[in-house]
């Protein structure tokens, strides 16, 4: 006789948690601003010690840290808090892999405002933010992005350099579209002394990329092209065109228009290298990549998280002969290499 399968009774818990989920964002942002993770990493691991170190009320610190334990950002034994593995690597400012600055962009008032009336965005099918949201001309949010999101891109930029065999030292002319912080082109230049980088972005954003090229010691091989990627002249003869975290901001026809321009700028046999969050065909897995479409709904007029089949179609329609998908574990992104 089969054993009856136990089923969990209906519960409003998931709904309650979802309606309070904004508090998780606020808690993580507050902990970064107060430097809670760095302080714990340095040994200040009780509410009393943290309150003294962070110039905060002991009651406030206790409640915040307990909340972070509940949400797996901290551990707790007795009255002592500790860092989880991920928090130690990514949120302690002493760590070379720290990405705590991301709160300045992802949890900025501009980005949060995109979701204050999500029902209106759903009805419209795109952002209700003024001036086309994040894709408005010379939006200052991209300077914030360039300064705060670069740490998250260190790992994929190194992985792309490895995937392209940059260390082989071939002579490369590289176009870095919507360069932002510039790390992708700069990393190729660091690995390949024979690579010349041409970065395209708004002038205020390119200033950040130039600063980063100076710190990396590749300024003499890092050039800038100021303006919109849709409007400026790229030139020609590029061996590689970088399209990192850019195509998701636009609809397929807009992307195909840009990709035809990219195709024309590439030398024969050249490659377009696209970094994206790529959901499966079901559009609900894997969770991080699939959920990225919600960011695009809230912040852009027509952007989306595209499947590989959709990207493949866009590149094919723009004249590329083939495209291949490469995962970049342990990151949640993929690289698509498209061949002219």
Do 164 and 80 lie in a common domain?
no
> What is the β-pairing status of strands 322-327 and 334-339?
antiparallel
Residue 105 lies in a domain: no
Residue 190 lies in a domain: yes
Do 162 and 214 lie in a common domain?
yes
Do 90 and 159 lie in a common domain?
no
When divided into structural domains, the chain yields a total of 2
Residue 194 lies in a domain: yes
Q: Domain range holding 19?
A: 14-95
Do 167 and 291 lie in a common domain?
yes
- Residues (pLDDT < 50) of the chain are none
Residue 8 lies in a domain: no
pTM assigned to the model? 0.93
Work out the number of other CB atoms within 10 angstroms of the CB of residue 120: 10
Return the CA Rg of the chain.
22
Do 162 and 224 lie in a common domain?
yes
Do 320 and 223 lie in a common domain?
yes
Distance between alpha carbon 21 and the CA centroid of its chain, in Å? 21
pLDDT at 292: 97
Do 76 and 200 lie in a common domain?
no
Which of 30, 64, 95 represents a domain boundary (last residue)?
Answer: 95
Do 222 and 129 lie in a common domain?
yes
Distance between alpha carbon 26 and the CA centroid of its chain, in Å? 19
Q: How far apart are CA 283 and CA 305, in angstroms?
A: 8
Do 81 and 133 lie in a common domain?
no
pLDDT at 2: 55
Residue 19 lies in a domain: yes
- Chain segment 262-297, per-residue pLDDT in tens: 999 999 999 999 999 999 999 999 999 999 999 999
Do 266 and 203 lie in a common domain?
yes
At residue 278, φ and ψ (nearest 5 deg) are -120, 105
Residue 220 lies in a domain: yes
CATH number, position 22: 1.10.10.10
Residue 1 lies in a domain: no
Residue 144 lies in a domain: yes
């Amino acid at each position: 006789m089969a054993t009856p399968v136990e089923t969990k009774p209906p519960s409003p818990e998931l709904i309650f948690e979802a309606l309070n989920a904004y508090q998780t964002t606020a808690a993580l942002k507050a902990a970064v601003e107060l430097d809670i993770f760095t302080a714990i990493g340095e040994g200040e691991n009780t509410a009393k010690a943290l309150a003294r170190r962070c110039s905060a009320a002991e009651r406030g610190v206790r409640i915040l840290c307990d909340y972070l334990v509940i949400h797996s950002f901290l551990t707790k034994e007795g009255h002592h808090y500790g860092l989880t593995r991920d928090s130690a690597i990514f949120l302690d400012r002493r760590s070379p892999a720290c990405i705590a600055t991301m709160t300045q962009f992802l949890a900025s008032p501009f980005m949060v405002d995109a979701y204050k009336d999500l029902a209106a965005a759903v009805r419209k099918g795109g952002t209700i933010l003024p001036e086309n949201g994040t894709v408005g001309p010379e939006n200052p949010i991209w300077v914030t992005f360039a300064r705060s999101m670069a740490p998250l891109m260190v790992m994929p930029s190194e992985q792309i350099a490895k995937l392209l065999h940059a260390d082989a030292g071939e002579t490369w002319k590289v176009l870095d579209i919507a360069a932002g912080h510039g790390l992708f082109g700069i990393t190729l230049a660091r690995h390949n002394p024979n690579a010349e980088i041409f970065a395209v972005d708004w002038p205020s954003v390119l200033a950040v990329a130039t600063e980063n090229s100076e710190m990396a010691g590749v300024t003499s091989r890092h050039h800038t092209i100021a303006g919109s990627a849709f409007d400026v002249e790229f030139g020609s003869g590029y061996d590689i065109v970088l399209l990192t975290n850019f195509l998701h901001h636009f609809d397929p026809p807009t992307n195909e228009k840009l990709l035809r321009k990219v195709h024309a700028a590439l030398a024969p046999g050249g490659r377009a290298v696209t970094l994206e969050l790529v959901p499966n065909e079901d559009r609900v897995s894997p969770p991080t990549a699939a959920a990225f479409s919600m960011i695009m709904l809230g912040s852009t007029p027509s952007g989306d998280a595209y499947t590989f089949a959709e990207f493949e179609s866009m590149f094919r329609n723009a004249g590329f002969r083939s495209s291949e998908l490469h995962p970049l574990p342990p990151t949640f992104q993929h690289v698509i290499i498209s061949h002219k």
